[in-house]
Amino acid sequence: VVSIYGKSGTAKSMLVKDLCGKLTASGQWFGHPVTATLRSVLFILEGQSGIGPRLAAWQKFNGIDFPEHNKFIFDAFAINDDADVALFAAKLQVAGGADVIVIDTLNRASSGADENRSADMGKIISGAAKLQELTGALVILIHHAGKDEGRGPRGHSSLFAAMDAIIEVKRDDNDKRWWRLEKAKDGEDGIAHSFELEKVDLGVDKFGYPVTSVAIKESDEPVPSRAKAAPLGKNQSAVMTQFEMLMVEQSILAPTTAEPDAPIGISYDDCVLRCKDC
């Protein structure tokens, strides 16, 4: 289960479509070899608007057909509902299964959930893990960045901890775009590549007006380095060390499955007691 996230307008959804289109149709993606042979890639989308022109632009720009095994579903789906996940997985298996399931966006697929509450985020994470277990597919969650981009995906921090991999997609004030592998449980993180949105002419509509869309174009532009946190002072460093020890001791790095509604955190009194002499 992986997450690809970024602020609105970064083209994260287009980037994922480009990736999935090339998983079998191309030998590489941003210079990384693609060797997968897939039965099906299934997109669960929040809207149909603009898909036709974007797929047409992808085909024209890449000079190949968008793979037929990429399917799109626009029906409502609740990843935080165990019954909905089980029903969807069962229907998918009857239809022949899928190797990749893209949920775009996580917010739309978890209606009614408060992403900032540990209990609600726990249900989302549990649903994604269950979907992966029942289908055997790679589950990609397209998600939004929080107001403070330095804190990662929007919502409770348990999402970051639970993912097998996380890619952040960014765009700066000069319209430069890039993606960076922020986390890879079984591999090297920090890999990053820049890209552009290439305008593609698609002819004219029935009224004679020009039709255009855009496609992902790999770029050689350098990727900005990660923003570095301000160094901690001597006292701050000592306190942070005690915090980390407390987190490990109390096993609060991720919510427990036994008590999903239990609050996660370190009490103020415990912090004061642990840090008063450090």
CA 44, CA 83: separation in Å to the nearest integer?
A: 17
pLDDT tens string 174-200: 999 999 999 998 888 899 999 999 999
pLDDT tens string 112-151: 899 999 999 999 999 999 999 999 999 999 999 988 766 7
Closest by Cα among 113, 48, 94 to 75: 48
Q: How many angstroms separate the Cα of 162 from the Cα of each of 2, 100, 217, 226?
A: 9, 18, 31, 22
Pairing of strands 192-204, 41-45: unpaired
In whole numbers, what is the pLDDT of the chain averaged over residues?
88
188: which 2 tokens? Answer: 């090297």
**Would you tell me the crossing angle of helices 82-94 and 118-135 to the nearest 10 degrees?**
20
More confident position, 177 or 278:
177
Percent of the chain whose pLDDT exceeds 90 = 63
DSSP secondary structure letter of residue 230: P
CA 237, CA 241: separation in Å to the nearest integer?
A: 6
